[in-house]
Structure 1
Amino acid sequence: MKKGLVFLVLVLFVVSVNGQTSFTSGWLPKVVVSAKTSSTTKWVNSIEAREVFYEDEFAFSHSLVDVSSIFSIKSDVNKSFNVGYIIRFKDDDIIHRTVQHFNLVQSFDALKLGHRFGFEQFFESGAKPQYRTRYRASLEKALSGDKVDVKEWYVKLSNEYLWQFNEEDLEVRLSPYLGYQLSKKDKLEFGLDYRLGKLLDTPKKNSLWFRTTWYISL
């Protein structure tokens, strides 16, 4: 697994260097608040900002804010479906997004392997609707024991592929995180979020974000 990860990072680096003309970096702070509405359903709300520190040169700017509301339905112990709505505020533009996700979690002793398959639709005034599909694989492991307990650390690694139908654009994301279980009701995660877009075109679009997420369960 480690060799495969190193190989993937090297491939992404080589691809990004060839023909690279743009690079963006910044911070993605996010707060996620969830509440169970029944034994099989959950309501998840979040707010995320995008603060740019570097865009071909060092310059701080506020890019956007995403506000989301998602309803999750658990169909099995390890399976769930998500349907929701995300509104994005970017400059003077407002972008509406509807999402449908299928989630599958597999447990292997001290490891958790997650899969997410998703479809998304984007709507914006004065623009044609956009459609995207995505697949994400994630691996989570407790750093002490077989499961994550309160006041314990864990690591998470995710690899995601996004396909934009209208623009025929492929994007790859690689995200290593370090998490800490603050209590039974909340946890913190922080790490890096590397994105390589326009993978089938030239020039490529690169971005590297420092991400911090606070998860709160009510």
Structure 2
Amino acid sequence: MKNIFPFLLIIFCVSKVICQSNFDAGFLPKIVLSNKVSDKINWVNSIESRAIVYDDNYQFSHNLVDVSSILSLKTNLNQSFNFGYIIRFRNEEIIHRTFQHYNFVYQFSSLKIGHRFAFEQFYQPKKQTTFRTRYRVSLEKPLNGERVDVKEFYIKLGNEYLYDFKTNDLEIRVTPNLGFKASKRDKIEFGLDYRLGRFIENATKNNLWFRTTWYISID
């Protein structure tokens, strides 16, 4: 039960949305390419776009593009470390980000529970380097049987907390997804990405993204 406890915050997050008018919505399409370099090392590259289809001014806008590269080192069956870099193109800005992840996964029959601790550094010209930390817990379960086979569906639920040291801002994310394993080398997930920001300031900002992610293995 302690692993599922963070999801209880969903109820609180929804109540905050109802009371706030600062709300954006849009799409987050993403493609992820992974290559198994060795038994313990994976190289993962991705590109993600963000388009706003609704905001307080009812305007459509293309918000940003993220291009990332991650080297994942598996230390044992359940644990791994990620070291990555992201370049973000947002309007006229270019933002560089480096990050480090520590991941561990528990497998209970058909239920997979994952934890991730992360540290991030943001670099921009003529601006001070900023730092952020985050924690995510996720649950994944096949809809049929004890494992996800080809042409089968699964569900994935995520709950994440992000803290920005510069702004003293806490952001909470809730991400329910429905996945489909199309083949041995690719799968696709559809879902929502709800974000509640400016939580500590009590001036909350709400974002709801419709997310589509295509995972492709090129081993």
TM over 0.5: yes
What is the alpha-carbon root mean square deviation over aligned residues? 1.4
State the match for 1:146 in structure 2.
146
Contact in 2 for aligned 1:121/1:131 (Cα 8 Å): yes
Residues 31-84 of structure 1: CA deviation (Å, up to 9, x unaligned):
000001111000000000000001113221100000000000000011100001
| Cα shift readout 1:3-26 (whole Å, capped 9, x = no counterpart) | 9677422211223444x2410000
Counterparts in 2 of 1:79 and 1:4: CA distance versus 1, 3 Å: closer
Opposite residue 169 of structure 1, the aligned amino acid is D
Percent sequence identity over matched residues?
Answer: 55
Letter of the aligned partner of 1:157 in structure 2? Answer: L
What is the 5 A alignment of 1:55-134?
55-134=55-134
Contact 2:6 2:159 in 1 (8 A): no
Cα gap change, 1:6 to 1:105, in 2 (>3 Å): closer
Q: 1:151 to 1:52 in 2, by over 3 A?
A: same
Structure 1 runs not aligned, ≥5 long: none
Q: Which runs of 5+ in 2 are unaligned?
A: none
Alignment of 1:169-180 (within 5 A): 169-180=169-180
Residues 119-150 of structure 1: CA deviation (Å, up to 9, x unaligned): 00000012111100000000000001000000
Equivalent residue, structure 1, for 2:163 = 163
Separation in structure 2 between the aligned mates of residue 107 and residue 190 of structure 1, nearest angstrom: 23
- Normalised by the size of structure 1, how large is the TM-score? 0.95
1:184 to partner: Cα distance: 0.4
- The equivalent of 1:15 in structure 2 is 16
The answer as to whether partners of 2:7 and 2:159 remain within 8 angstroms in 1 is no
Contact 1:21/1:204 (8 A) holds in 2: no
SS in 1 for 2:13: helix
Cα deviation, 1:97-136, whole Å, max 9, x if unaligned, reads 0010011010000000000000000000121111000000
Q: How many residues align?
A: 216
TM-score normalised by the chain length of structure 2: 0.95
